[in-house]
Structure 1
Amino acid sequence: MIEVAEGVLVATSRVMSTTSTVLCRDGEALLVDPAWMPDELDAIADELDARGLRVIGGFATHAHHDHLLWHPRFGSAPRSASEATAALARDEREALVAALGADFPAELAQLMGRVDGTDAAIPPSSVPRGFAPELVVHDGHAPGHTAVWLREQRVLIAGDMLSDLELPLPFDPDDLPTYLAALDLLAPLAAQADVVIPGHGTPGSDAVRRLDADRRYLDDVVAGRRPDDPRLANPGMTEEYERLKVLVATAGS
């Protein structure tokens, strides 16, 4: 884990550079999107033990299988997510578990997505002293997708947005305007952030630049222009670009 701000630790998975964020102080920890291979979840538990940290809460930014995970060694602390995320985790549980793969350990699959819904705030009892996470709930990328803003630390946990590796990934034609609206919602926080933590990618100090790049990419695709975006060279991103062109065409028909 690397410390990107005081008490804010980030681990990065070997799969899709998925990030796990830990907020910690005074021996207590809140886990945001712990991910995501079984041995990596075990390694997170090892590091928490080594640091003398007890997990008092968890939070999932959205209802995709790689962001709803947990491990028995994290304990039985309350886990939360937005109302829409919690509903999807419940109603689409079978598909989410299947997305983990047939070889995923049953004890971990059983714990996936066991979150309670809240659009207001993470319960104070789940938050270490010195943190006051603010939830920014929107519908870009996934219904009820949630960014977490740490005002005192000036850290923006962006979920699956503002990535240096992934292009914007709207999920259907209706998500195009909501994705742009989500970027508008995040813009004032990006302007204040010293650190942005994407769900996939590298924490950085360039939140505004990333947000502008996401807007420019979407504007180009909607206008029928080939984007000049270096992220297109990353694995899977050409396919996502082609998929987005189809979504744009569908939205315009």
Structure 2
Amino acid sequence: MSKKKLFGLRQIKQLEEIQRARLKKEGVGIQDEVQELITRLTSGGVGASDTTDPFLVQSKVLWDKGWGRELGCKTLDAYRKSLETDGLPTKPERPAGLPEHLDRLILWDRRPLLVDGKISLVKACRLLGVVFGGNDDTLVQHEATPAITEPVRWVWCQDGRRNRNRKPSDCRNGFQKPEVGLEVLGGLFLFAQDHTVIREEGDAWHIMDLPGSLHRDEPSRCAYLGLWVDGPELDWYWDDDAGPECGSASRGE
């Protein structure tokens, strides 16, 4: 069973210890960093949004995770404006011919994750609080899943529950265009918007296979996102293995 991660006295004491050490070494505290966090999390409201507008809701989620900060945006409005400037429609439309089961809409913003022109999964996992034992070269795109190169866009996907107890390799081979296997980055963006895509609570337990990404040195293993004792984790496993709690996620091209 996963642990609920709540802020408490232990974290407050740790912040005080960090500040004392910083003051001793550098002569400055951590007020600016703490205030940045508070300002970011309170900008645009706290808690669940009272709107269902996907642009407002999902941009707020990524803002809270630090996307705007990484881009140098000082306010939530500035971050939203940057999305529009880079071509994201504020009113997403469903592409014609898309399978009906691709019913989850996610905001895909890869801009803060580009390091030397390449996506950093390590950075993405750090921002989202996901455990990842690999590095930026561990997982690669499967050739059957075209990489998304636009800086920002809307993506329609499904979380894999419909494909439980099926091998990721079979699912990947069975997808018919425009449906393709979801890759790691897509899985992380889906998790960012809805943590319930992976759970460890009775029948709701679900491991999201990501057949659009493979291990570079062991291509018979595909990526997956699961929830364990230490929290959400990105890992890889055999793509010719099936389990009742595992299912392959997919998206539109």
User: Is this a same-fold pair by TM over 0.5?
Assistant: no
Computing the radius of gyration from Cα coordinates, the structure with the larger value is 2
TM-score (norm 1): 0.29
